Chains A and B, each alone.
Chain A
């Protein structure tokens, strides 16, 4: 099983995105930035969004560093959510979650496009968090008020994954 699974996990397109991530860079005019990190491995994804008044994602970019799965997932996600409404991005999020955790039936929705190449991750449970880090940041960005703090004073613009977190 292993060779085919590995080929699934590390398809050429995924390796290409991890080597040359799309939409990679700072965004000085971002309306919100969410800093996502996975403390158990040190991976970081900083997601920058420029949201219109109606919540439409006008611009998106990311910075950070991580393994190939983490970087490729972030890169492909940014391509997919550009110019989407909050509702459309939420729908993508739900589809991606269903695919990556294996909770949704196969085949994965066509709406995910190239992101479907990441479906092999579900056979590697310890790597699911790599694939979902950018999406955790997106979820936070779409539903947190910029600069807001929680009651405990925690920064809402920060997502830190815990080993016991549910995946999205």
Chain B
């Protein structure tokens, strides 16, 4: 496919007028409902975001007007579907400032993106005795694929320890662990439990100096702050569509062209080949080499609409808004007392995990749900980190731009009610 030139100005857009957050909220049909008799307060955005009308409409429009298979047809609908699918790829490249759309591989989510790198790049370029460096903050999706790879090839996982309940990482510890044995360094941009924003640019600079390949898990950051893979200086970066207002089942793996070119294919099938004989095949060029079978065309189109939608708001403004709500929740929980709150104080992304004294997180979530407040309870696919913290699970409130200060007040009121509820009969 062709590289499409993009204006350089796309990286640093001019300042925007103040955002009318209340108006944006009305773009989300799902938010206008009652749950158990109370207005829905949706605070589980780190698990998945809601979808604006514009994204839903884009998917419906595709199925109602343009649905066809891509890259194979000569007919009009196939041309339209192909154009829309590839336009989404170009838009992703712009969204993360990738040098070329050829470096954008569509996958079904962050998890598949990471598994793809483990199964192809990792399998080919890592060998017995090599080390994969990870943070203790890692989501299971950025641990288990590496465990599986390490078991296959005899590589070893090494974790950079995080600082207690804060969840921050000292660069000195990274330096100490970036030994010549390390071949790959993976890390989350934003921790889904701690809300820590990691210094990914510094991580990548250190890794690059040591000749170590990097992979950024951007699942929690892509929809919440500006992502610029050239500025970050990473080799791979993965994120999911459904956490950034797009549909489920579509995600992105960015990889530097040089790396993608050198990697073997992921799955075999149609689309990923240049030519096939009965006993052999030649691979297609990147990124198609990694996209066997009919892709999630509607998903890519929905993701395109989602990226347009959130960029019309501005990701800097979104980050500031989410952070403001997280800080309000953090301060509120602190003043309630009786809560252990995780993460780096007020310098955090838009989520707050906590445990209440004497109330298990599942009980917190059940009681909050009965008041219409949707929280996450459990280990958030962060079981090793929870074990390190000495807890089995925590409750988490995670925010997005359609959440309001009023909803944070409601959340705090409900948490106070839960504390009172569980205190009854305790003496």
Contact = CB atoms under 8 A, between A and B. Distances in A.
Nearest to B36: A2
Contact of B422 (A1, A15, A40, A44): A15
A126 B376 CA distance: 13
B393 A41 contact: yes
B366 interface: yes
Interface residues of B, number: 24
Nearest to A6: B370
A104 B367 CA distance: 26
A33 interface: no
Nearest to B35: A2
Given A10-B421, A16-B425, A19-B358, A41 B366 contact: no
B57 to A, nearest CB: 32
Given A2-B36, A40-B378, A41-B378, A12 B363 contact: no
- Mostly, the B contact residues are mixed
Nearest to A13: B425
B36 A41 contact: no
B366 A42 contact: no
Nearest to A12: B425
Nearest to B383: A42
A67 B364 CA distance: 9
A2 B366 CA distance: 11
Give the bracket for the number of chain A residues in contact with chain B.
20 to 34
Interface string A90-128: 000000000000000000000000000000000010110
A42 B392 contact: yes
Contacts of A6: 367, 370, 421
Interface in A119-168: 124, 126-127, 130
- Mostly, the A contact residues are helix
Contacts of A43: 362, 392
Contact of B37 (A2, A44, A66): A2
B386 A42 contact: yes
B426 interface: yes
B11 to A, nearest CB: 41
Contacts of B359: 68
Interface in A46-81: 65-69
B393 A42 contact: yes
B40 to A, nearest CB: 14
Contacts of A88: none
Contacts of B377: 41
B355 to A, nearest CB: 12
Contacts of A42: 378-379, 383, 386, 392-393
B362 A130 contact: yes
Interface of A: 1-2, 5-6, 9-10, 12, 15-16, 19, 40-44, 65-69, 124, 126-127, 130
Given A1-B36, A19-B358, 18 more contacts: A2-B370, A6-B367, A9-B366, A10-B367, A12-B424, A15-B424, A19-B426, A41-B362, A41-B377, A41-B378, A43-B362, A43-B392, A65-B392, A67-B361, A67-B363, A69-B363, A127-B366, A130-B362
8 contacts: A2-B370, A6-B367, A12-B425, A15-B425, A42-B378, A43-B362, A67-B360, A126-B366
Closest 7 CB pairs of A and B: A67-B360, A67-B362, A42-B392, A12-B425, A2-B370, A41-B378, A2-B36
